[in-house]
Amino acid sequence: MKQHAITAFHVLWTKPITLSGKHFSMNSAEILTMMVSALMWQKYNGSIKLYTDKCGLGFIRSMKLSALWDGGIDTELLENNNYPIDPEIFWAAGKLIAMEAQAGPCVMLDTDLIVTQPIRHLLDPTAITALHSEALHPEAYLHPSLLKKPTGYHFPADYNWNVLPSNTAFLYIKDESFKNFYLSESKRFMFHNMEKPAELVSQMVFAEQRLLSICAARQLLPITHLLSDPFSLSNSCVIHLWGFKSLLRQNENVQAIYSKQLIEKFGEELSGYPLFMGYIGEHLVNHNSY
């Protein structure tokens, strides 16, 4: 199954949370999703690695999940990185730092995204594949004049502000030189960009999602999307928690029902993975002891 394997990576960067003194944690439904994400990738598409920091590793160890990533766990990169980036504003910068270090071609996979089938044949003919395009909602994708910029920074005149951003919960980049160009543009915007915005979405989604599409347009590279519409019922290969995480974090009963559905869908398929079975047995199964 993995003869045409492609390497993916997860990122668990806890610094945006722990920096403000908060305790890092994930609920059981989020952990289960991350497990299914890693194992389904291994089953159908290739190896997967985790980039995290010491705090993230501590959490993973406490959950006995260290063996989940067959490509291993790297803590050096994120732990020792000293880029002048504000983790609160650029809370997903860990993903971009990891992408810079990861040899391509590779897939950046969010921990809340599950690819349910082999997709190498979809990626092979493309230069860039992202999850789906996003509308230019003005609340998330601010007019360039409203974005906070580092001192001396100017948007290049040839940036095309009309291209639609791409959701990067899944991102495949074949070409190393494009990856480096995209990341250098993103870093140029994020570095020393410390002025706090009124909300914590617009700066990050510009640096990660809108810039990807702008950079691709600038280099005349087409972006392919796994999904033409995120909520299309014809989608047969991707589950992404996306905004549902918010409800999931607020409601234990929703967590229970969601987890049950996930296990019903993937339980049999992943029953050969002792780690998966062990986690479910230890954390999720009703032993009916009351």
Partner 1 sequence: MELKWTLHIPHKKNRAMSIKSDFKKGNHPTASIAMQHYIFAFVQDVINQPNNLDRSKAWLKEYSENEHLNYSELEYHLNVFFELLAEYSKTKSPLLYRFLKLQAQTCYINEDRFNLLRISYPYHDFMVEIIKSSACCHGKNCVSSSPGSGIVGGHLIGL
Site string for partner 1, 183-212 (x = CB under 8 A): ----------------xxxx-xx---x---
253 sits near partner 1 (criterion: CB under 8 A) = yes
Residue 163: how many other CB atoms lie within 10 Å: 18
**Which residues face 10 on adjacent strands?**
50
DSSP string for residues in 145-157: GGS---TT----T
Binding of residue 145 to partner 1 (CB under 8 A): no
Q: Pick the stretch among 62-70, 118-126, 150-158, 264-272 that binds partner 1 (CB under 8 A).
A: 264-272
Contact call for residue 252 and partner 1 (CB under 8 A)? yes
Decide: is 25 part of the binding site for partner 1 (CB under 8 A).
no
Fill in the DSSP letter of residue 73: E
- DSSP letter for 45, please: T
Among positions 5, 63, 164, 256, the unique one binding partner 1 when judged by CB under 8 A:
256
Residue 200: HSE in the Cβ half-sphere, 13 Å Cα cutoff? 10
Task: Write down the least CB distance from residue 213 to partner 1, Å.
Answer: 13
Stretch touching partner 1 by CB under 8 A, among 95-103, 128-136, 184-192, 212-220? 128-136
Site for partner 1 in 31-90 (CB under 8 A): none
Instruction: Say whether 209 sits in a helix, a strand or coil.
Output: helix
The DSSP call for residue 66 is: G
Stretch that binds partner 1, among 3-11, 73-81, 98-106, 131-139 (CB under 8 A): 131-139
DSSP H stretches of helix in 53-209? 54-62, 76-80, 93-101, 120-123, 176-190, 202-205
Q: Which helix (H) or strand (E) holds 274?
A: helix 274-279
260 scored as a contact of partner 1 (CB under 8 A): yes
> In whole angstroms, how close is the CB of 75 to partner 1 at the nearest point?
24
Question: Which one, 177 or 246, has the nearer CB to partner 1?
Answer: 246
The label of the residue with tokens 């990891």 reads 98
**Binds partner 1 by CB under 8 A, chosen from 77, 127, 263, 275:** 263
What gap in Å lies between CA 240 and CA 215, rounded to an integer? 25
What does the block give as tokens for 242? 């996306």
Contact segment (CB under 8 A) with partner 1 among 59-67, 94-102, 133-141, 151-159 equals 133-141
> Exposed/middle/buried for 234, CB within 10 Å: 0-12, 13-18, 19+?
exposed
Chain contacts with partner 1 (rule: CB under 8 A): 28-29, 91, 114, 116, 131-132, 134-135, 137-141, 165, 167, 199-202, 204-205, 209, 227, 230-231, 233, 235-247, 249-265, 267-268, 271, 280-281, 283-286, 288-290
